[in-house]
A and B are shown apart, each in its own frame.
Chain A
């Protein structure tokens, strides 16, 4: 069996000074097997975004280890492998699209760390845009696009890196239902096609169910429960999943 695409071992992370110490994560451990799309669920403030940043290598854990593809990449207080060499891509909560750059330039700049000749970079960028069905928006500025289109740009920029692991931080909030459903469907298809694993962070389990087989539920920096999403939903222990199941109810959530 191959090593998990990413793994956290007893990771702890705190913020704040001597007076206001806030523990964002408390001895969190879990692993994501290759190809097993996982959702990270939990209410706001439960530490989900922190976890993603630790996985990405943007911050170092206070205790514990972060492994990727069977190699140690971060340990207590240090980052051994920088973010751009981990084979990850991330779509941030606010998309983090660089302003003053066109859509194509955003993707191109995102490839600048790849050390490819310029022609190849342009090629890869256009391919990524085509993957996300936004080739005709190449010269537009992100501020002029709709929410769904901006999402696709962020996705294209991430996919251009040809990552092994795609981190999605609440990417679908604020989109209307049809756009959201279409995007989720596309991410699923692309993941199968290009062979990357998805780690989806959300506070809404409804976004996770079409895409992810496994789930990890965080509460106040600790893992409340983890496992196959279907099984968790049948017998939820966490408050979040219980509320979700109750809301759905026998009639599928319709009053």
Chain B
């Protein structure tokens, strides 16, 4: 049995027992609210005004701020920006990016801002995004004097983006589960029976994995590349959300092998996880090298400061710093020391890639085979 509790309008209730107003009931909440409001207002004023103040540089005159959109991990980009500020006195306003798989990111912001850019420089973690910008007319050509020594094959021939400090796509394996003799040394090993159900890669629609997929299609040709992907899933290989997730799973043994970037692998190593790193296909197609790319934005609000920042980025000191940091990025300039635990770039067999051309191929794949492949293999 239920009783209807619909409140009846316009009929008086029974005479309630008198509940006299508690003394002072109305006053105390108002006081609390006032205190809270004042505290909040004070905090907002104090904290909201706070900003990274540029430290005086040695003899440099502060100019306008430089706005840098960075899709490089914030943890690595910030120290570089900090050093630039200290050395030149120019304030750096860094705009970070989330992982592509998490939300619509910076590149879309740049594209939408085309008519009125807010960014001066785009610091990309890979050249494909820089090429996308170039295709859409968002970049300006700038050949920095600091670029001496950087191999031209890692840069745009027309100067719209310049490559430096690279990562590489590597195989990682769990040392506790995979003895060294059985460690993979080629991406084709991932489709071997001994790794049945044990391999994982990140979603090839996003990030460096997408670039790797496009590079494979370019290097192997469409048929072989498709076959590789199909064999991968036929062998029980798994798609996970990100490179960081690949690292986590291999580190804790959920998967025993995976493909990820050198900076992810390095983080696992630094945390003391039992992870081994292999630069694949040294006697085959080679290892994909993914340089950072510095792009000057067309129509930038502070182009002079932007150029100075790019000069700073491309300087050997920055390459050295990025190599020494947790980013463990390999300098592309010959002769500079590699990061601890990683080989020098010169010693690697690098995959032959036309970085500029990858962008168009990637778009086609993302609408076609890759999308379809991912859809087939997710829930």
Which residues of A approach B to under 8 Å, CB–CB?
93-94, 140-141, 144-148, 150, 173-174
Contact = CB atoms under 8 A, between A and B. Distances in A.
A173 B21 CA distance: 27
A174 B11 contact: yes
Given A146-B15, A147-B15, A93 B21 contact: no
Contact of A141 (B9, B11, B15, B21): B21
Nearest to B18: A144
Contacts of B19: 144
A144 B15 CA distance: 10
B193 interface: no
B23 to A, nearest CB: 12
Contact of B12 (A140, A141, A144, A174): A174
Contacts of A93: 10
A174 B9 CA distance: 13
B335 interface: no
A219 B18 CA distance: 40
Closest 9 CB pairs of A and B: A174-B12, A146-B15, A94-B10, A147-B12, A147-B15, A93-B10, A144-B19, A144-B18, A141-B21
Contacts of A141: 21
12 contacts: A93-B10, A94-B10, A141-B21, A144-B18, A144-B19, A145-B18, A146-B15, A146-B16, A147-B12, A147-B15, A148-B15, A173-B12
Given A93-B10, A173-B12, A174-B12, A146 B18 contact: yes
B314 to A, nearest CB: 67
Nearest to A94: B10
Contacts of B20: 140, 144
A211 to B, nearest CB: 20
B11 A140 contact: no
Nearest to A179: B15
Contacts, number: 22
A140 B19 CA distance: 10
Which of B9, B10, B19 counts the most A-chain CB atoms under 10 A from its CB?
Answer: B10
A207 to B, nearest CB: 15
A140 B10 contact: no
Contacts of B9: 94
B25 to A, nearest CB: 11
Contacts of A140: 20-21
Contacts of A148: 15
Greatest chain A CB density within 10 A among B9, B12, B18, B19 is at B12
A146 B18 CA distance: 8
A174 B15 CA distance: 9
A145 B19 CA distance: 9
A94 B13 CA distance: 11
A48 B186 CA distance: 91
- In this complex, the member of A93, A141, A145, A146 whose beta carbon has the largest number of chain B beta carbons within 10 angstroms is A146
A89 B10 CA distance: 20
Contacts of A146: 15-16, 18
Contacts of A147: 12, 15
Interface string B15-39: 1101111000000000000000000
Contacts of B21: 140-141, 144
B160 to A, nearest CB: 64
Contacts of B11: 173-174
Contacts of A174: 11-12
Contacts of A145: 18
A146 B12 CA distance: 10
